[in-house]
Structure 1
Amino acid sequence: DKPKLDPGSDAVLGILDGKAPLRVEAHWKEDILAVLGIAKAKKVRCVLLGASEAWRCIDEIKEVGAMVVLGPAQRFGGNRLDALRARSDVARLLAEADVPIAFMTAGAVGYRYDCAPLLAALAVSEGLSEADALRALTTGAAKIMGMEKHLGRLATGHRAAVQILTGRPFDPETSVDRMVIGDRVIDVAEGTR
């Protein structure tokens, strides 16, 4: 008889075998340090999701080689304990420390699918360089997802959706003029995205 398939066990084995990183949503410094401790003890790759207080433990994040996927530093509509010590410039601080970053498009509170570019623009307004913001949306995101061999940059054999913009990428007045997806060029109506 074949053993029964257990998706949970298979996922854990994938992490322990190094095929996939340990991905954990952790916001408070203490929780981040606990996750990093597990990753270090088990010698597994680690991706921190949310990481509101990552600025408080950058050295520890670097030591483990963890990567960080950031959500919004501040969310509208209510008090959140995980945002008490959040800093709006955490993306800049992590990038300056050479910690790989990306931005969330979904999470426990249900962000919109197009949230990542907005989060990148907000991070630029808080001091993240445009180059680091673009990296977080492209090669950084692909690396964190383990798909850097297929996504994240313009290269032969890579899949891409390219936006042709009317101005600088993170300028609020900039809009998408055209999209190139595969061999299709899509003209986008003025003022829409």
Structure 2
Amino acid sequence: MIRSLAIALMLLPALASAQDLAITHAEAWTMIGSGTGAGKVSDATIVVHDGRIVSVTSSGAVPAGATVIDVGGRMVTPGLMNAATQLGLVETGSADETNDKSSSNTTLGASFDIQYALNSNSVLLPVARADGLTRAVSYPGAAGTAPFMGQAATIHLTETGDILERPQVAMYVQIGSATLSAAGGSRSAQWQLLRNALTEAGRYQPGKPDQPISRLDAEALQKVLKGQLLVILTQRESDIRQAIALAKDFRLRVAVMGADEAWRCADALAAAKIPVILDPMDNLPISFDQIGARLDNAAILGKAGVRMAFYASGNTIYLSYDAGEAMREVAGLAVANGLPYDQALAAMTQGPATIFGLSDHYGTLAKDQDADLVIWDGDPLEPGTYPWKVFVQGREASLETRQTLLRDRYAKPAALPPVYQK
């Protein structure tokens, strides 16, 4: 037994080196710093050990025994993060039995928590991962408890195990015409309900009967009062300014989502350090809340210094289906309308990581960060570009999906249809 132990100890260095990965000759976009081309390292060597980044250096040395992948000048970025999805919650929007994004239970308002419904076996997860997405926010949908939607979670698109990364990362509320009826028909009522709920949560006394707020909602909102992010889904300038005022009055961490008219108050958002989660494709006046929508919303916000994170809705289709590819396309649209390229990449990596509290381990290609990496076969903001390889915590992920399996099965010429083949 002693001899076996000695042999095992001798093998430890070899086993450690076998876990090393070196990606060489890369154009690495580290997402560190700011300014045009900030953080770009040419002819980079990216060294990974035990699922974490060790170094990113130009023409750097390769550790002895490391697995080497020569990417031949291809672009490498952190794995992308979509700031607003319903991955793991919605499989098919038209099939209620696959839809867990919201609840009609009026006893669950602010306290509705999506973490318990996340489906790690959703067939939409491999599709998103194959498009370069390794992390996402999964958030609740509109409910009958306006303005409250519930609590969101961040998910990690690993191939095995639970996708839940951090539960209760943010509380979501929706203000605007889409939820007016549930709040009595007036935006003023929506804001009053929100302000009153926060006030009552602060006053809540456990065990005391006949309080105006339920124990579950009070406990959920107390987290917001103590620093949990409050995401306000709204579009109109007047409502965005109300969100700024709310953050100041209650000393809250607030982010605004949707925000089609955010350009009108970009300087105020920057001064208040309130980030914006937006879909650059949502640029038409399709409702009276969005009369001021415009193509260069993101560019104006970026110039003002507002931190941003991107998502793609497509009338809610892309919140679950094609959540990776669609987000890259809307980022490209933002660049086409004036947003600097590096800021668009940041809005899919470092930006959402910072907003949702993941920047201690994800969002940049920096030492000790999770080795979530995407090697691209071209410019990731071009619709025709796809990942060449995807790594999740240093492990290469399969790019195979149900769709590619069907393609390969039916695209092959054969004497008999696939159903008759063994």
Indicate the TM-score class for this superposition, using the shorter chain for normalisation.
Answer: 0.7 to 0.9
CA distance in 2 between counterparts of 1:66 and 1:107 reads 25
**Are residue 17 (structure 1) and residue 226 (structure 2) matched?**
yes
Is the contact between residue 280 and residue 298 of structure 2 (CA under 8 Å) also seen in structure 1?
A: no
Is contact 2:276–2:308 with CA below 8 Å preserved after alignment? yes
Corresponding residue number in structure 2 for 1:98: 305
Kindly provide the amino acid, as one letter, of the partner of residue 140 in structure 1. Answer: G
Given that 2:281 and 2:333 are in contact with CA atoms closer than 8 Å, whether structure 1 keeps it comes out as no
Compute the RMSD of aligned alpha carbons.
2.7
- Structure 1 match to 2:270: 62
TM-score normalised by structure 1 residue count:
0.84
The equivalent position to 1:172 in structure 2, one of 377, 383, 396, is 383
Within 5 A, what are the aligned runs for 1:40-51?
40-51=248-259
Looking at both structures, which has the greater relative contact order when contacts are Cα pairs under 8 Å and sequence separation is at least 6?
2
Matches within 5 A, 1:1-193: 6-18=215-227, 20-74=228-282, 79-105=286-312, 109-112=316-319, 113-114=323-324, 115-186=326-397, 188=399
SS of residue in 2 equivalent to 1:31:
helix
* Kept after mapping to 2: 8 A contact 1:51/1:69: yes
Gap change, CA 1:103 and 1:7, over 3 Å in 2: farther
When Rg is computed on C-alpha atoms for both structures, the one with the higher figure is 2
- In structure 2, runs of 5+ residues without a counterpart are 1-205, 209-213, 405-422
Opposite residue 318 of structure 2, the aligned amino acid is: Y
Q: Amino acid of the residue matched to residue 162 of structure 1? A: L
Unaligned runs of 5+ in 1: none
Q: SS of the counterpart of 1:44?
A: coil
Aligned length: 187
**Closer/same/farther in 2, CA of residues 157 and 71 from structure 1, 3 Å limit:** same
Q: In 2 relative to 1, CA 150–29 (structure 1 residues): closer, same or farther, beyond 3 Å?
A: same
CA, structure 1 residues 83+145, in 2 after alignment: closer, same or farther (shift >3 Å)? Answer: same
Letter in 1 for 2:301: L
Bigger proportion of residues as strand: 2
CA distance in 2: counterparts of 1:34 and 1:103, whole angstroms: 22
Structure 1 residues 86 and 65: alpha-carbon distance in aligned structure 2, compared to 1, 3 A threshold:
same
* Percent identity between the two aligned chains: 32
TM-aligned CA deviation for residue 116 of structure 1:
2.3
Residue aligned with 2:318, SS: coil
Asked whether the equivalents of residues 177 and 187 of structure 1 are also in contact (C-alpha less than 8 Å), the reply is: no
Amino acid at match of 2:305: D
Letter in 2 for 1:80: S
Q: 1:75 to 1:110 in 2, by over 3 A?
A: farther
Moved more, 153-162 or 117-126: 153-162
The answer to whether the 8 Å contact 2:309/2:351 transfers is yes
**Larger CA deviation: 134-143 vs 2-11:** 2-11
Moved more, 152-161 or 65-74: 152-161
Distance across 2 between alignment mates of 1:186 and 1:146: 25
Residue 72 of structure 1 deviates from its aligned partner by 4.0
Relative to structure 2, which stretch is displaced further, 154-163 or 115-124? 154-163
TM-score w.r.t. the length of structure 2 is 0.41
CA distance in 1, matches of 2:315, 2:220: 20
**CA contact under 8 A between 2:372 and 2:394: conserved in structure 1?**
no
